Structure 1
Amino acid sequence: MKIIYKLKQIAFFAVLIALVASCDDNLPDVGGAEQNYNNTYGLIAANTNLTLYYKAIQLAGLESALNTNDDYTYFIPADAVLEAYLVKTGYVNQLGYPDITLVPVDVLKQIVLSHVVKGAKKRVGKLSGVKADYLETGELTTMANTANPDLYLLTVNVTDGILKVNGSDKQAPGLDYYATNGFVNVLDNVISLTPPAPVVTALSQSFANPGDMVIITGSNFVKVSAVKFGDKAVTFTPVSKTEIRATVPADFGSYSLIRVETAYGTSNIATLGVKFLVYGDDFSGAQAPLSTWSWGGTEDFQSTEIVGRGSKSIKRINADAWSGVYMQFASINVADYGYLKLSIYSTKSTRVLFSIGGTNDDDGKAIDIKAGQWNNVSIPISDLHPEKLGATINSLFMKEYSGEKGTVYLDDIGFL
Structure 2
Amino acid sequence: MKIIYKLKQIAVCAFLVALAASCDNDLPGVGGAEQNYNTAYGLIKANTNLLLFNKAIQLAGLEATLNTNEDFTYFVPADAILEVYLVKNGYVNALGYPDITLVPVADLKQIVLSHVVKGAKKRVGKLAGVTADYLETGELTTLANTANPDLYLLGVNVTDGILKVNGSDKPATGLDYYATNGFVNILDNVISLSPPTPVISVLSQSFASPGDVVTITGSHFVKVKSVKFGETEAVFKSISKTAIEVTVPADFGSYALVKVQTEYGISNIATIGVKFLVYGDNFSGAPAPLSVGGWGGTQDFQNTENVNRGTYSIKRTTDKWSAMYIQHNPVKIADYGYLKLSIYATVSTRILFSIGGTSDDDGKAIDIKAGEWNNISIPISDLHPEKLGTNVNSLFVKEYSGLPGIIYLDDIGYL
Q: What TM-score does the superposition give when structure 1 sets the normalisation length?
A: 0.90
Q: CA deviation at 1:35?
A: 2.8
- Answering whether residue 396 of structure 2 is matched by residue 402 of structure 1, we say no
- Contact 1:117 1:142 (C-alpha < 8 Å) held by counterparts: yes
Take 2:297 and 2:126, find their aligned partners in 1: how far apart are those partners? 55
SS in 1 for 2:109: helix
1:286-337 deviations in whole A, cap 9, x for unaligned? 1111111111211111111111111111111112x21111111111111111
Take 2:231 and 2:48, find their aligned partners in 1: how far apart are those partners? 53
Q: CA deviation at 1:223?
A: 0.8
Change (3 A) 1:125 1:359: farther
SS in 2 for 1:175: strand
- Contact 2:336 2:380 (C-alpha < 8 Å) held by counterparts: yes
Change (3 A) 1:127 1:396: farther
- Contact 1:29 1:35 (C-alpha < 8 Å) held by counterparts: no
SS in 2 for 1:36: helix
Q: CA deviation at 1:131?
A: 5.2
Change (3 A) 1:34 1:92: farther
Take 2:34 and 2:399, find their aligned partners in 1: how far apart are those partners? 63
Change (3 A) 1:33 1:357: farther
- Contact 2:30 2:43 (C-alpha < 8 Å) held by counterparts: no
SS in 2 for 1:30: coil
- Answering whether residue 186 of structure 2 is matched by residue 186 of structure 1, we say yes
Residue in 2 that maps onto 1:380:
379
Take 1:33 and 1:257, find their aligned partners in 2: how far apart are those partners? 63
| 2:327 partner amino acid | Q
- Contact 1:33 1:43 (C-alpha < 8 Å) held by counterparts: no
- Contact 1:292 1:327 (C-alpha < 8 Å) held by counterparts: yes
Correspondence list, 1:142-161, <5 A: 142-161=142-161
Q: CA RMSD in A?
A: 1.6
Report the more deviating stretch, 116-125 or 343-352.
Answer: 116-125
Residue in 2 that maps onto 1:56:
56
Take 1:29 and 1:97, find their aligned partners in 2: how far apart are those partners? 26
Q: CA deviation at 1:248?
A: 0.9
Residue in 1 that maps onto 2:162:
162
- Contact 1:196 1:264 (C-alpha < 8 Å) held by counterparts: yes
1:22-42 deviations in whole A, cap 9, x for unaligned? xxx9xx943768531400011
1:110-158 deviations in whole A, cap 9, x for unaligned? 1000000001222134978x75322111111100111111111111111
Change (3 A) 1:327 1:125: farther
SS in 2 for 1:315: strand
Residue in 1 that maps onto 2:82:
82
Take 2:204 and 2:127, find their aligned partners in 1: how far apart are those partners? 44
| 1:251 partner amino acid | D
Residue in 1 that maps onto 2:347:
348
- Contact 1:110 1:144 (C-alpha < 8 Å) held by counterparts: yes
Correspondence list, 1:293-332, <5 A: 293-319=293-319, 321-332=320-331
Report the more deviating stretch, 384-393 or 232-241.
Answer: 384-393
Residue in 2 that maps onto 1:121:
122
- Contact 2:29 2:174 (C-alpha < 8 Å) held by counterparts: no
- Answering whether residue 270 of structure 2 is matched by residue 270 of structure 1, we say yes
- Contact 1:31 1:49 (C-alpha < 8 Å) held by counterparts: no
Residue in 2 that maps onto 1:357:
356
Change (3 A) 1:337 1:105: same
Q: CA deviation at 1:409?
A: 0.6
Take 2:333 and 2:377, find their aligned partners in 1: how far apart are those partners? 15
Residue in 2 that maps onto 1:5:
none
Report the more deviating stretch, 29-38 or 393-402.
Answer: 29-38
Residue in 2 that maps onto 1:12:
none
Residue in 1 that maps onto 2:171:
171
Q: CA deviation at 1:49?
A: 1.5
Change (3 A) 1:33 1:64: farther
- Contact 1:52 1:100 (C-alpha < 8 Å) held by counterparts: yes
Correspondence list, 1:103-252, <5 A: 103-119=103-119, 120-125=121-126, 132-252=132-252
Change (3 A) 1:53 1:398: same
Change (3 A) 1:125 1:304: farther
- Contact 2:277 2:412 (C-alpha < 8 Å) held by counterparts: yes
Aligned residues: 388
| 1:337 partner amino acid | Y
Change (3 A) 1:158 1:95: same
Q: What TM-score does the superposition give when structure 2 sets the normalisation length?
A: 0.91
| 2:69 partner amino acid | N
Take 1:72 and 1:135, find their aligned partners in 2: how far apart are those partners? 13
Take 1:249 and 1:29, find their aligned partners in 2: how far apart are those partners? 60
Take 2:199 and 2:276, find their aligned partners in 1: how far apart are those partners? 26
SS in 2 for 1:252: coil
SS in 2 for 1:111: helix
Take 1:374 and 1:172, find their aligned partners in 2: how far apart are those partners? 44
Take 1:357 and 1:211, find their aligned partners in 2: how far apart are those partners? 36
Q: CA deviation at 1:88?
A: 0.8
| 1:303 partner amino acid | N
SS in 2 for 1:87: helix
Task: Name the % identity.
Answer: 74
| 1:342 partner amino acid | L
- Contact 1:33 1:47 (C-alpha < 8 Å) held by counterparts: no
| 2:370 partner amino acid | A
Residue in 2 that maps onto 1:9:
none
- Unmatched 5+ residue regions in structure 2? 1-25
Take 1:33 and 1:103, find their aligned partners in 2: how far apart are those partners? 35
- Contact 2:92 2:102 (C-alpha < 8 Å) held by counterparts: yes
- Contact 2:261 2:267 (C-alpha < 8 Å) held by counterparts: yes
